[in-house]
Structures are given as C-alpha cells and as structure tokens.
Chains A and B, each alone.
Chain A
Amino acid sequence: DTGVSQDPRHKITKRGQNVTFRCDPISEHNRLYWYRQTLGQGPEFLTYFQNEAQLEKSRLLSDRFSAERPKGSFSTLEIQRTEQGDSAMYLCASSLVLDTEAFFGQGTRLTVV
C-alpha cells in the first residue's frame, strides 16, 4: 500500500458545473476524513467517516457538498453548482479507528473559473 491516494490531482471547472473527487485510503484504515485548504491557511475539517457511516459534518460543508463512502473503502466528494469560492485544495486523510494519527493524500486542487 502506497498511502492515501486522491484522484484527480488537479481539476479546472467552469462555475456552475458539478465535480467529483475520489479518495482511496490506506487499506486497513477505518476512518476517513475530508479537509479543505486554501492558500496560506491550514486545512479545515469538512467531514468524517467511520467505515461507511458519515459521523460528522462541518458547517463548512454546504448543501452543495456531498460525501459518500459506500463500502467503507474509497470515498467520493461531490460539489454541485461550483462557485469561485470553492477553489481550494481538497485533502483526504485516513487513520485507524483507535489511532488519531491521520495520514494525508496529495490532495485535489480545484480551480473554478
């Protein structure tokens, strides 16, 4: 296993379009997290899964955002009707259930034009 994998690495989309990102966590990790990072800032928590259950969502996650982890393995993050303010790096991380140490992927950089 080579760590947390995210796809695509870069995405440029027009305002109003929908985008979907994928995250493949480290295989034995039960917990999966999505974070958003804008330039010059630290990552901000968006949502968290334990296995297939989405247990927490930040208020940053507006109604246009939806995340799934249908089989408790990979996860997808969809943004509908993208806005310029959605431009950011979207980071996925995973960890073991009883271990808070989270390993991050390389991120998907979204640019909304």
Chain B
Amino acid sequence: GESVGLHLPTLSVQEGDNSIINCAYSNSASDYFIWYKQESGKGPQFIIDIRSNMDKRQGQRVTVLLNKTVKHLSLQIAATQPGDSAVYFCAEAGDSGYALNFGKGTSLLVTP
C-alpha cells in the first residue's frame, strides 16, 4: 500500500553541524508534505511544509527539499543545537487532503 517512510531511524550529529533527515514517500498523488518535531512526552510540533509545486522551501535554520521524480523529501537543519534533539516525522496529506500519513520518525541526537 501507499506509505511514507524514513531512511534512518537514528541520527547523531555534533552541535553546530548541519543535519539532514531524509524521507521517502510512495504516493505519487501526494501534494502536501509537512515536517514535524516531537519531543519526549509532547505532541508533534509543526516545523515546515511544502507543496508539490515547489522543490525547496526555507524557514529559520531549516530547509525542506522535495524531489518528486524520486519521491524523496529531506529536512536540513543548519547549525544544529542541543534543543533540536527530538524525533522528526515527515507526513503527507493523503488523497483525502486532510488526513496526514506519518512515517515512523528519525531520532536526532545532538551531542556537544
């Protein structure tokens, strides 16, 4: 069936380095993608989104890249900080346009 998945379950980076979290999706009809950050014991927090008519979108210290040809999404975090340590989920809006389909998540650990 259609799915959203992440390449790596865990990622460890040093403080100050750039982080890249990858995500593959299989539903070619998906037209909206979101990255969420989830800290332990908390609900997912919106980071950045992108629509399928774009291939790049930048926020504060974060950039999302969308490659529709290979159905790949990535989240880049510049100058990673200890506060960035969390689980990151990519999600895509399904055919319904409202229900989000989440991947399993990548745990990002920032070491000093």
Interface on A for B, CB 8 Å cutoff?
4, 6, 31, 33, 35, 40-45, 48, 56, 58, 91, 93, 95, 100-107
Contact = CB atoms under 8 A, between A and B. Distances in A.
Interface stretch (B40-48, B56-64, B71-79): B40-48
Contacts of B102: 42-44
B89 interface: yes
Given A31-B98, A41-B104, A104 B44 contact: yes
Contacts of B101: 45
Interface residues of B, number: 24
Residue from B91, B93, B100 whose CB has the most chain A CB atoms within 10 Å: B100
Contacts, number: 60
Contact of A100 (B41, B97, B104): B97
A102 B100 contact: yes
B86 to A, nearest CB: 13
B98 A103 contact: no
Contacts of A6: 43
B99 A104 contact: no
Contacts of B96: 56
Contacts of B41: 106
A106 B44 CA distance: 8
